[in-house]
Structure 1
């Protein structure tokens, strides 16, 4: 029996814009991944099919029970809750403390029940998750990754029928992500995973793709889905080639028909002038030819419209499955030392000395668990903080890109960003470059704060590409909030970048596709 069903659901905003329409689905598999580009409505779609939100039209048979993980944890960040209070065990721990202090009131024993081993068990579980082992530790003081783990752990302990996980791995390091994969495997209910993380999507048994053309279902994990998408792209490209060929043939045939009609008309005029045939007969032939020509033109126009409609439909599908192109310009870097750290000790994070040499032509993957000091090392390289001890030498221009692409100035337009951040850039060149990544005419006046993560990424890459001196890149989880298409677009651009970079990313697929050729573990 399906966990949930939805029939012909649509969602329309108050202003009248339609996000999606006439979507139907049936959740029968226990592990389903929901993918799609950012902004297509995945989170809203999930909230509708779970029964949490009403669709504009259509019907939903929701699950008996469900729970949702959302990326935002603002209620915990702004609260005074401790870990124990969030987990709902503070009262039991307090009762145990009272009993240990010699207070033998019956009410404490009633509260404890059979949970005498809770402190030891909780201590062990918190340590396993890499969370503070003190249950009285405030949630507001936890890191983003620790908050995510705490929320996920609480959800996986529930016995709900459906668990919706919306981008659960965004702040998780490799060990935490492996814990999440194991938790998904052993969860007894159904999991609907909204994610761009291929490691998690490989654990799914079915992939749903939400796009502007509707909802498509692929009966396998991410690798099966990716292979099917590639097959779809090739098939659409073949169909487009056939349609283009048919359109050219139709145009050629129309030209031939027009030439023949003109030749027949000229021959009729000659006969009319020569007087060898009666005027009545010539008028009859002319009328018949005109009717035949009009009918032929009408059929050709109808066929042309049909071919154009088919081409437009296939082009829209092709845009859904094809990858865009993005290129980071640059010269081939030489093998000079770009960054050297000798016995460097960070002021916080990693307490062990770091010795690291990175050459200008190297693409290094900087690995380590959350809290190990990766971002702190970047701050030291950028000169924002000083090492506690050791030496640090930087012998190259640097460019820092984080997951929010903070290099882009939010108060400036895309055009102004290009002209401000790229020395010597003139407006005509900036417009040409922006058109190359899909922003033409008045679109170049959109402000930085109005751009999506993927759009900011494209603009940031364009800015990097047109610096006077080729920079060495410091990439601090630039893929964290990107959808699959944007991740792959950025990875390809980094792979083709002729300079060097240091990349922090917990997505091993993204790191590999970016062309990393060495790694350093903190």
Structure 2
């Protein structure tokens, strides 16, 4: 029996955008990787399964209790570690009772979970995470917050767990700990991720695309092999269908030429009066009927061939990808743009057009160092573009267009709409409130605001820029950054992404805040 069943499920936002449109399918009791392009509706689908959103039509049936890790978890900076673990109410009740408060409702909250705090601390220790249950999410690194929340889901033991991009912001060690949690997961698990290594741990892969949920047995690599074979067959079928269409077009043209020749012959016969009037009319009527039949037959074959081509084209994938064109910021070589200073010592002068990576373990303070820099500590240019890890620079009440115009106030709205389309933000989506965006959509809008700034930034500071991007969009981002002629400072735990950037140097920040050059 499946753990989650989707029956003709549709969800539309108040503005009419419909990310989920008549989707049917199921998730089994094992581990499922849910994949799809940015904007396909993966996060929205998880929120529907979790009961956080309600379907416009159709239904979701879940066998058991659901737990959900949201993609935008790190935006809730006032939550505590106990909140992430889901033990806040019980821990507070136990502490109140131990302080002398004997209200009956407190005992109802605790139930049999008198050791909730001890079990929570032990679970954190097993994952090498901070043990202070009262610590705020805003003081944790993004990776620590995510791993703490996943530990909480594992601790609560729900029947169905939904993880939305759980490897975002995790360093190598934290990813290994998450992978171990997934390997040993009990119960149904659905993971949305663009992390190939994580997707190799699942039992089956489900793809959400064009309003359909298709499940493939096996890991992501098995899915890719199946998809490659499927697309090769689809391309072959398209070529065959196009060849048939060309033949039918040529045959129709020949038929029309034969008919035209016959009509010219008929007119010549009339002109030469070779037949009496009755015979002429009889011959003409017979010819017209035969010609009409031949025309209809030729046109029908061509229409059928064209329909076959259109069907074959639909089977061949040509998904949209973001297109990123960065303007030239005109940064002279050797121009000093910033001075990075570690809180524990060490510094590095950032010059144009230098390309730098800042690395270090979760909790070392990489994001804090970037925040200090863009706030003015060591900044030597006022043309800096910053992509924060938490994606919290956008005003949730603003429309997408207004949010992007804040970075380019002198660019006409029509021109901005055209540029946003290259980030796959089109039509009515431009006028949607930021609060309604999925994690991937929010990322693209934040990235668009940064990269479409006018005048262009001389220094780009990117904190985990591949979070929430599908694999093809990461490829486009790498291409754009490869052509960028300003200075680039990147924090990322995606080693493949960093290797592709062609770095000039790698700086490392240790747990004591000391900054040093690795290479």
What are the Cα deviations for residues 21-52 of structure 1, in whole angstroms up to 9, with x where unaligned? 26233515x22101123443334544666799
In the alignment, which of 340, 347, 359 is matched to residue 367 of structure 1?
359
In the alignment, which of 459, 463, 467 is matched to residue 480 of structure 1?
467
Q: What's the counterpart of residue 20 of structure 1? A: 21
Give me the whole-angstrom Cα distance separating, in 1, the residues matched to 2:75 and 2:392. Answer: 26
Counterpart of 2:344 in 1: which secondary structure? coil
Give me the whole-angstrom Cα distance separating, in 1, the residues matched to 2:457 and 2:130. Answer: 43
Deviation of 1:20 (Å): 2.9
Deviation of 1:456 (Å): 1.9
Given the superposition, is the C-alpha separation of residues 265 and 48 from structure 1 closer, same or farther in structure 2, using an over 3 Å criterion? same
Give me the whole-angstrom Cα distance separating, in 2, the residues matched to 1:45 and 1:113. Answer: 34
What are the Cα deviations for residues 401-449 of structure 1, in whole angstroms up to 9, with x where unaligned? 33549599986875996798287x6788767756666678x76974784
Give me the whole-angstrom Cα distance separating, in 2, the residues matched to 1:448 and 1:483. Answer: 23
Residue 453 of structure 1 contacts residue 482 of structure 1 at CA under 8 Å; is this kept in 2?
no
Give me the whole-angstrom Cα distance separating, in 2, the residues matched to 1:407 and 1:115. Answer: 42
Q: Which runs of 5+ in 1 are unaligned?
A: 99-107, 346-350, 387-391
- Matching of residues 29-44 of structure 1 within 5 Å: 30-44=30-44
TM-score under structure 2 normalisation?
0.74
Give me the whole-angstrom Cα distance separating, in 2, the residues matched to 1:7 and 1:444. Answer: 26
Residue 67 of structure 2 contacts residue 158 of structure 2 at CA under 8 Å; is this kept in 1?
yes
Q: Does 1:400 align with 2:400?
A: no
More relative contact order, 1 or 2 (CA 8 Å, 6+ apart): 2
Q: What's the counterpart of residue 170 of structure 1? A: 168
Q: What's the counterpart of residue 452 of structure 2? A: 463
Count of aligned pairs: 492
In the alignment, which of 480, 484, 503 is matched to residue 493 of structure 1?
480
Given the superposition, is the C-alpha separation of residues 210 and 377 from structure 1 closer, same or farther in structure 2, using an over 3 Å criterion? same
Given the superposition, is the C-alpha separation of residues 459 and 63 from structure 1 closer, same or farther in structure 2, using an over 3 Å criterion? same
Deviation of 1:521 (Å): 1.8
Give me the whole-angstrom Cα distance separating, in 2, the residues matched to 1:325 and 1:80. Answer: 39
Q: What's the counterpart of residue 513 of structure 2? A: none
Given the superposition, is the C-alpha separation of residues 230 and 286 from structure 1 closer, same or farther in structure 2, using an over 3 Å criterion? same
Q: Does 1:150 align with 2:139?
A: no
- Matching of residues 153-302 of structure 1 within 5 Å: 153-302=151-300
Q: What's the counterpart of residue 6 of structure 1? A: 5
Give me the whole-angstrom Cα distance separating, in 1, the residues matched to 2:383 and 2:306. Answer: 50
Q: Does 1:502 align with 2:489?
A: yes
Counterpart of 2:162 in 1: which secondary structure? strand
What are the Cα deviations for residues 33-73 of structure 1, in whole angstroms up to 9, with x where unaligned? 01123443334544666799886777876434443333456
Deviation of 1:185 (Å): 1.2
Deviation of 1:115 (Å): 8.9
Give me the whole-angstrom Cα distance separating, in 2, the residues matched to 1:281 and 1:148. Answer: 91
What are the Cα deviations for residues 254-305 of structure 1, in whole angstroms up to 9, with x where unaligned? 3333233222211110111111234434333433332233333334444444
- Matching of residues 317-356 of structure 1 within 5 Å: 317-319=315-317, 321=319, 323=321, 325-328=323-326, 330=328, 336=334, 338-339=336-337, 341=339, 344-345=341-342, 351-356=343-348
What are the Cα deviations for residues 332-384 of structure 1, in whole angstroms up to 9, with x where unaligned? 98753554637x34xxxxx32133244534432222334433233334443x2
Give me the whole-angstrom Cα distance separating, in 1, the residues matched to 2:64 and 2:92. Answer: 29
Deviation of 1:153 (Å): 1.4
Give me the whole-angstrom Cα distance separating, in 2, the residues matched to 1:129 and 1:65. Answer: 24
Residue 338 of structure 2 contacts residue 349 of structure 2 at CA under 8 Å; is this kept in 1?
yes
Give me the whole-angstrom Cα distance separating, in 2, the residues matched to 1:310 and 1:219. Answer: 29
Residue 232 of structure 1 contacts residue 321 of structure 1 at CA under 8 Å; is this kept in 2?
no
CA RMSD of aligned residues (A): 4.9
Deviation of 1:330 (Å): 4.3
Residue 407 of structure 2 contacts residue 450 of structure 2 at CA under 8 Å; is this kept in 1?
no
Q: Which runs of 5+ in 2 are unaligned?
A: 101-106, 510-519
Given the superposition, is the C-alpha separation of residues 293 and 434 from structure 1 closer, same or farther in structure 2, using an over 3 Å criterion? farther
Q: Which deviates more from structure 2 when the two are superposed, residues 243-252 or residues 190-199?
A: 243-252
Deviation of 1:156 (Å): 1.0
Residue 40 of structure 1 contacts residue 211 of structure 1 at CA under 8 Å; is this kept in 2?
yes
Residue 322 of structure 2 contacts residue 424 of structure 2 at CA under 8 Å; is this kept in 1?
no
Deviation of 1:163 (Å): 2.1
